[in-house]
């Protein structure tokens, strides 16, 4: 250790850089003051290695000098400083990292977004939402991932909008799943139909996570999700997302149990005698009406037998055999339906 710290002052920049790298791997906080000093080295590679090493050691006393390094003339040093601040995770670095989201170098902006996600401070959310409109897709992706890690619901509308961004859709779906706000359910259902398999999988996993983490949601949240359950179940079945379908059906069963806590979930509730009586009366009336119509048709057919024979036989003879067979099958089906209704009415009347 002392020899490596001494090597940080070697006249050869490669030696200084190697010493800084080695001190980072060792991870001893005793090296922090010397590495802080190395952040002012004239060679950018040494400064870069020192910033990396400070991030690996993770000592908060390096935060002030690393925030200064976010304004280094070299973009590589600025990227390393942002990464180191993310590894240390001190909220004091958040304002400087928010400022770094507007850096001219896209790599620095991405490193700053990643660092803010690791720190997880909600004060970074507005700046990260703004970063979702960055000109570079990998910066937008890092911003979406950071918003998912922070988990603040105020980011939900912007992340829903990001589901339309070709480079960010997957990260946006994952972030919405981590946040777990039910307002995202309709947009995630739509994402299940995305042309990209990765996006579809991310949306399915996000919805599954939301449904399974909602064991005791508020009544308002549960009602909001429940409104979309039919569409969700249909889409999950169509896309063969069986894990999501299972979670959806479980959520629906749980919702019904909460709505009717007095009802045994394994057995249907007993029906009211009034309902049973009305069903029987309604079935009887329907059968009587049907019997009356059939009787009337029988009378008409009997009274007009010659006319029907004169018209029906030529009609059937002029039609192809498949059509005639189809008509006979249709009449047989009608007769079978009438017989089924009659049997059902008889069974009900015998109870």
Q: Is 10 helix (H, G, I), strand (E, B) or coil?
A: coil
pLDDT tens per residue, range 295-315: 655 655 565 556 555 666 666
pTM: 0.69
pLDDT of the chain, 351 residues: tens digit per residue: 788 888 988 899 999 999 999 999 999 999 999 999 999 999 999 999 999 999 999 999 999 999 999 999 999 999 999 999 999 999 999 999 999 999 999 999 999 999 999 999 999 999 999 999 999 999 999 999 999 999 999 999 999 999 999 889 999 999 999 998 888 988 998 898 888 888 988 888 888 888 777 555 556 666 767 777 788 788 888 878 888 888 777 777 776 766 666 566 555 566 666 666 666 666 667 666 666 666 655 655 565 556 555 666 666 667 676 776 777 667 667 766 766 666 766 666 555
Between CA 204 and CA 206 the distance in angstroms is 5
Residues 6+ apart with CB under 8 A from 37: 8
- Architecture field, domain 153-262: Alpha Horseshoe (1.25)
Between CA 208 and CA 163 the distance in angstroms is 17
pLDDT recorded at residue 246:
83
Cα 22 to chain centroid, rounded: 42
pLDDT tens per residue, range 279-289: 666 666 766 66
pLDDT recorded at residue 96:
97
pLDDT recorded at residue 266:
56
The tokens describing 259, both together, are 């709505």
Between CA 287 and CA 298 the distance in angstroms is 16
pLDDT recorded at residue 344:
67
Closest CA to 147 of 107, 169, 174: 174
Residues 6+ apart with CB under 8 A from 62: 32, 35, 36, 54, 84, 88
pLDDT recorded at residue 6:
87
The tokens describing 5, both together, are 């710290």
């Amino acid at each position: 250790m002392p020899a490596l710290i001494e090597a940080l002052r070697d006249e050869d920049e490669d030696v200084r850089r190697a010493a800084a790298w080695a001190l980072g791997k060792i991870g001893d906080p005793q090296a922090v003051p010397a590495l802080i000093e190395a952040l002012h080295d004239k060679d950018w590679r040494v400064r870069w290695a020192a910033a990396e090493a400070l991030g690996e050691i993770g000592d908060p006393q390096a935060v002030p000098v690393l925030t200064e390094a976010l304004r280094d003339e070299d973009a590589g040093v600025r990227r390393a400083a942002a990464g180191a601040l993310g590894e240390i995770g001190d909220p004091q670095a958040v304002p400087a990292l928010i400022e770094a989201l507007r850096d001219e170098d896209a790599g620095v902006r991405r490193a700053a977004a990643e660092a803010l996600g690791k720190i997880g401070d909600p004060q970074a959310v507005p700046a990260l939402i703004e970063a979702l409109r960055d000109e570079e897709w990998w910066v937008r992706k890092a911003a979406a991932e950071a918003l998912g890690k922070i988990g603040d619901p105020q980011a939900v509308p912007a992340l829903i909008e990001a589901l339309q961004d070709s480079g960010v859709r997957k990260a946006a779906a994952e972030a919405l799943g981590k946040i777990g706000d039910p307002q995202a359910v309709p947009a995630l259902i739509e994402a299940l139909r995305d042309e990209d398999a990765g996006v579809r999988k991310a949306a399915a996993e996000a919805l599954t996570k939301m449904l399974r983490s909602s064991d005791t949601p508020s009544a308002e949240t549960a009602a909001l999700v429940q409104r979309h359950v039919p569409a969700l179940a249909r889409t999950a079945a169509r896309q063969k997302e069986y894990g999501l379908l299972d979670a959806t059906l479980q959520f629906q069963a749980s919702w019904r149990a909460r709505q009717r806590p007095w009802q045994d979930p394994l057995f249907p509730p007993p029906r009211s005698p009034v309902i049973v009586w009305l069903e029987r009366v309604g079935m009887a009336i329907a059968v009587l009406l049907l019997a009356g119509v059939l009787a009337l048709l029988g009378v008409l057919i009997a009274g007009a037998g010659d006319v029907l024979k004169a018209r029906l036989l030529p009609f059937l003879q002029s039609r192809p055999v498949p059509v005639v067979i189809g008509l006979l099958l249709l009449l047989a089906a009608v007769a079978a339906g009438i017989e089924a209704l009659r049997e059902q009415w008889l069974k009900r009347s015998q109870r």
